[in-house]
Amino acid sequence: MTGDAGTGNATAPPTEATISAEQAKQVPMQKDGDKKSFWSREFSLLSIVGAVIVGFFVGASQITDGVEKMLIFFHFRPDAFSVGEDNARSVFSKHLIEVAWTRLFVDRNYVRTLELGLDASAQEAAWKAYADAVRTWNVEIMNSILGVQQYYGTAKRNFLEQKVQGGFSRASDCISKMRYPDYWKKLNHEKCEGANPDPLNMKNNFEIAYDILDDLNRDLYCFASGLTKEKATCE
């Protein structure tokens, strides 16, 4: 048994395998770590190549996203929601569309039950569906705004905040005045306020509510598809 190389105290016992110092210089030495260092170098090289490949695809994704936004900005393609991809943006977009159209549907349905004078149970069922949809929309609105900013940019976010959310706020105010007319009459503020002016005060609350909801329908179509119903680019 040989001693530790660093002590210098022990010497190897003479054996038949002992060779002279001069002979030892002529024998190529292979350290135990040589194979390991070879595989380490190979592994490091593979890691670098993998990192380059990942970086390429990440960079390509960012480039693709940038090109897409440029095409939208110059109106070469509509600023439509992405719903056909298997990624987080598509999942977010589909959910937002569903929540928005559910809200629009229950708003219109409740107004309709009041206009037709349906019985109290029908009105209460419609009101509950409306209240649930409003709660969902309002709970998620901040996440919706930030998600639209992240995935589609500032212009799309502004459209959501100003056009869509503004329309839902007007609809909510109008529906409240139809639900609680006596309360609003005491405040002398029982008339709905639509997006379109009514200087002669010719329209009743039902007509104003439908105007608001029709505007919302157009805005939501434009918001999701990037096009108006006449296939013009949304501005």
Interval 123-153: pLDDT, tens: 999 999 999 999 999 999 999 999 999 999 9
- Residue of 214, 208, 207, 209 whose CA lies nearest to 229: 214
Cα 169 from chain centroid?
Answer: 23
pLDDT (average), residues 188-211: 88
Do 93 and 187 belong together in one domain?
yes
Do 112 and 209 belong together in one domain?
yes
**Per the domain annotation, does 134 fall within a domain?**
yes
**Per the domain annotation, does 100 fall within a domain?**
yes
Cα 219 from chain centroid?
Answer: 19
Do 96 and 68 belong together in one domain?
no
- Return the pLDDT at 194: 85
Range of the domain at 147: 88-225
* Ramachandran angles phi, psi of 4, nearest 5°: -65, 140
**Per the domain annotation, does 231 fall within a domain?**
no
- pTM, two decimals, is 0.66
pLDDT-derived band of residue 86, with 50, 70 and 90 as boundaries? confident
Number of domains in the chain: 2
Residue ending a domain, among 30, 45, 77, is 77
C-alpha to C-alpha distances, 94 to 4, 66, 84, 114, 135, nearest whole angstrom: 70, 22, 9, 31, 19
Residue ending a domain, among 77, 111, 143, is 77
Other CB atoms closer than 10 Å to residue 152's CB: what's the count?
24
